[in-house]
Amino acid sequence: MRMAMLMWLITGLASIGDVSVRARCAADDTDAPSAARPEPQRPESRPNVLMIAVDDLNDWVGCLGGHPQSVTPNLDAFAQRSVVFTNAHCQAPICNPSRISLLTGTRPSTTGVYYLGPLLRQCDSTKDAVTLPQHFARHGYHTMAAGKIFHVEGKGEFDLYAGNMGGMGPRPPKPISGGHSHPLWDWGAFPDGDELMPDTKIAAWASEQLAKSYDQPFFLACGFYRPHVPMTVPHKWFDLHPLDQVQLPAYTETDLDDVPAYGQDLSYSAVAPRHSWIVEHDEWRHAVQSYLASVSFVDAQVGKVLDALRTSAHADNTMVVIWSDHGLHLGTKQRWGKRSLWEDSTRVVLMMHRPEDTVGTKCNRPVELLDLFPTFNDLCQLPPVTGLEGRSLTPLLDDANAAWPWPAITSFGQQNHAVRTQNWRYIRYVDGSEELYDHRVDPHEWTNLAARPEYRGVVREHRRWLPQVNQPMAPGSVHADARPGSAADIDSDDAAQ
């Protein structure tokens, strides 16, 4: 009965255009185009790029298996024709440095941008960087974007930037469930209709651009805000996830017992509600429901854009990439939010489709968002850029089982790093404390093996991948201290995680 009701709801949503499928390509976004451009090539000579970014989306997507009750038909359908990187990780577990890293192709430990500030053009190490969209623009692409691509910037970074369409809004007159730790940390059914949601407007704008003709190849970036807090979407998305049937994520009371004190403090996130408050107020299941509903909502917006591409004249010459900027804890490790070096915070969605791809495949090699810049240089025949620290994913797009000796590295603050290989996660903090998890038998990272003598060789092997360059925090760094008793690490909507 429940399955029949679920299928009826999905079918009904599809009839009003909220659920769609398919896609066609890949890319990324960022900065301001150069004034001087070479003669544009014919649009069919190089692929167009459609890049879709989703804020705070962890692995609770059907094709990634992060939660058994995820309802994401559009992302799942896209996966059927794409390379799905199941072991992809961000370079920083918070929005601003993650996006700066992706869009400049450099690590946080190289730029010194570890936190919510400084922004890209405010920092000496990145203010003159040639970003991914800027590189496209300088070499004959028309660049367009709407929504959240950079952390807060956008205007002046593309040939055409349509704005944030309302960003994190709309907000209810008073908090629904949370809001006591910060106004953005709220969840529940709101507003009444999809048409009031900024992401709906972003999807409509992107679809309109795909219906147009262009005399040069285009780079179109579409940045969605949900499921970032507030986890509020219209009620119909909650209907897909009945509250009394919602399953909580895997959890153990003793999870933090073998985690170093520094790691516990670093992941505290002073702005997020405490897990004890969530449990005491019986909000855990409701918050998980709200996140699942938000994911289903944004999946539908992604589907609209993919459908617009599928029915456009650009379908056969556009590559699509879909990525999220980091993951999210919803009670795991007794944490809410990101801001940790554990799997739930660093693992991201990364899926890529080239025009010639007809069958989907999964790749479990450890890869980084940092790898997107050099990958697009390869696929779009762009000249190389000096200083890129990632590696082209082209070999893995051609063969998901190709040799890949490199790990994925995530940094959060100076000399705090996680090294993720195919089977292991190793974490080292600035005070020298360590964690080690064997994902073959411990996917939830419940047992820290770092101090056990029999794993000394594994620890030693992973230590060699730690970044050798560890720049201090860039001047203007803000919201760095999220430890117990610290000031909140979000102080405005514009500085939201």
User: Which residues carry out catalysis?
Assistant: 95, 151
First to last CA, the chain: 40
Chain centroid, CA 305 distance in Å:
18
Distance separating alpha carbons of residues 360 and 397, to the nearest angstrom:
10
Amino acid sitting at position 35: A
User: Environment class of residue 132 by beta-carbon count within 10 Å: exposed (0-12), middle (13-18) or buried (19+)?
Assistant: buried
The torsion angles phi and psi of 179, rounded to 5 degrees, stand at 85, -10
Q: CA 477, 482, 485 angle in degrees (round to 5)?
A: 125
C-beta of residue 350 within 8 angstroms of C-beta of residue 369? yes
Query: What is the sign, positive or negative, of the torsion defined by CA atoms of 371, 372, 377, 380?
Result: positive
User: Environment class of residue 457 by beta-carbon count within 10 Å: exposed (0-12), middle (13-18) or buried (19+)?
Assistant: exposed
Count the helices and strands in the chain (H runs, E runs): 14, 18
Q: Is the preceding omega at residue 475 within 30 degrees of 0, hence cis?
A: no
C-beta of residue 23 within 8 angstroms of C-beta of residue 123? no
> Which is nearest to 231 in space by CA: 151, 280, 296?
296
For residue 484, the number of C-alpha atoms closer than 13 Å in the C-beta half-sphere is 7
DSSP 382: P
Distance separating alpha carbons of residues 378 and 300, to the nearest angstrom:
31
The torsion angles phi and psi of 390, rounded to 5 degrees, stand at -90, 180
- The pair of three-digit structure tokens given for residue 232, joined into one six-digit string: 């509020």
C-beta of residue 482 within 8 angstroms of C-beta of residue 339? yes
In 225-365 the beta strands, taken as DSSP E runs, fall at 231-233, 318-324, 329-330, 336-337, 350-353, 361-363
User: Environment class of residue 144 by beta-carbon count within 10 Å: exposed (0-12), middle (13-18) or buried (19+)?
Assistant: buried
What is the secondary structure of 47-99 as a DSSP string?
A: -EEEEEEETT--S-SGGGTS-TT---HHHHHHHTTSEEETTEE-SSSSHHHHH
Amino acid sitting at position 42: R
Distance separating alpha carbons of residues 50 and 221, to the nearest angstrom:
6
